[in-house]
Structures are given as C-alpha cells and as structure tokens.
Amino acid sequence: MSTVQASTALPATTGPWAHLDAHGTTQLNVAVATADGALATVLPRGSHLPSCGELLLTTSGHQEQKLRLVLLLGLRPMASACRVLGTLDVPVEPEERGLAQVSLSVCASAGQLCAVAHNVRSGARVFWVFDEAAAEAAAEVAADGAGATGRGSGLPMPWRFGNCYAEARHPGVVVAGRYLPLPHERGVAMPHGADGAWDGEVVPSATAAKVRPASQYLRWPHSLP
C-alpha cells in the first residue's frame, strides 16, 4: 500500500463540492479519464452526500506496468473539458491488455473527496485524498500532455465482461470486493462455425450436447419456436 497524496479535510467552500444544489446533491460528475479521451463516471451528478461509487477498470495497452487514473470533475463528455482533481498511478502486472483489474472507489462527503484504487489480483492499494494545491499541479501536468491518450499512457478503460480488448480470457472476476478465480476449461473444441463464440453468445450445438432435451432441436431445427 502507498499513499500518493494526503491532506486534511477541506471546508466545503474550498473543496470540490462548492457547487451543491439546493437539495445538497452534487451538480457535477466525478469521473476518470479513459484511454479514448472520454470519461468513465464513478460518482454521477445528483448524488446525495455522503456518497460512494465504484468502477472496475482495466489496461488499454499491452504490457502496461501501471494504470494512470486521472480523476476529473465535470459534465462534458470529453476528459479534456473537465477539471482535473488528481492522479493516481496504480502498478499492475505486465500482461495482455484488458486482463488487469483495478477497482476504483470514490467517496465524497461535504468537505472531502477521497479515493482508493485496488489492484484486485495483487491486493495493492493506492489511497488518494483531494487537495486543492495538488489538484492544480495535476491539472498543469495534464495540460502539458502527460495525460495524452494512446499506448503507453497508462490510461484505463472500464473493465467489462467478455473482454473485448484481448484474445485471452479473464481468469476471474471481482464481486463484492472479492476476487473470484474462475478456472476455465482448457482445450474445449468448439463446433464447426463457432469461431469467436467466446463473446458471450450461446452456441446451440455446444450447449445442446450438455442439455439433453435440447438435442431434439438440433435434429429437427424446424421445431424451434
């Protein structure tokens, strides 16, 4: 574990939540910049404080050694149009893109904004607490191009089931804060014409072999409703 930046709780008037609406809800999204220059929202606008959000992220490039999480505040869809709150660098194991899993949790109260990035496979955690001065410094770094997108930038993409980014299959998933390894079957021969069937779609001829009554539909396809 390591602490990147830390500060004491900020007064609401100087913190990121100076713009609450009359109902005490946030008016801007808290998001993380993604490798395509867009945002992945962690805490949506309209959240009642205190509030927490969580997002599972992954690498966008092969053999990345870190995931650079640029926290943003704003409403516009592009990262470059939002205010930079801070940056966390989370070390990840170099491997094919899309396989690393980093869970980002953001918690906000009226006077404080903090985040924890958790590499769910290694267990490493990086903590971050909003600091006005640090945010300004991070914004300057971002303006200088350090937050540029593309391979090697370390910017993440939201993790998704099906892993459209990589040929390899995920070795497990995170649920309820716990990493659940799910060993896959190896050497399973898919039926002819079922190439690319690992995208989450059912291959009828594959499943029917395991589901006895369904075999009738393969024998008499016209009986499908």
- Under the binding rule (CB under 8 A), the answer on residue 144 touching other proteins is no
Cα atoms found within 13 Å of the Cα of residue 45, Cβ hemisphere only:
11
Least CB distance from residue 199 to other proteins, whole Å?
9
- Cα separation, 54 vs 43, in Å, equals 8
Residue that is written with structure tokens 């997002």 in the block: 55
Nearer to other proteins, 22 or 220 (CB): 220
Least CB distance from residue 64 to other proteins, whole Å?
23
Least CB distance from residue 170 to other proteins, whole Å?
9
| Alpha helices per DSSP H over the chain | 132-141, 204-208, 215-219
Amino acid identity, position 221: P
Structure-block tokens of residue 29: 């999204």
- Under the binding rule (CB under 8 A), the answer on residue 152 touching other proteins is no
- Cα separation, 209 vs 215, in Å, equals 7
By CB under 8 A, what part of segment 193-212 binds other proteins? 200, 202, 204, 207-208, 210-212
| Binding residues for other proteins, total number by CB under 8 A | 28
The secondary structure of residue 214, as a DSSP letter, is G
Cα angle 12, 34, 132; round to 5:
25
- Cα separation, 117 vs 140, in Å, equals 22
Least CB distance from residue 182 to other proteins, whole Å?
5
Per-residue x/- marks for other proteins, 157-196, CB under 8 A? ---xxx----------x-xxxx-xxxxxx-----------
Least CB distance from residue 222 to other proteins, whole Å?
13
Using CB under 8 A as the criterion, which residues of the chain lie in contact with other proteins when the complex forms? 160-162, 173, 175-178, 180-185, 200, 202, 204, 207-208, 210-214, 216-217, 224-225
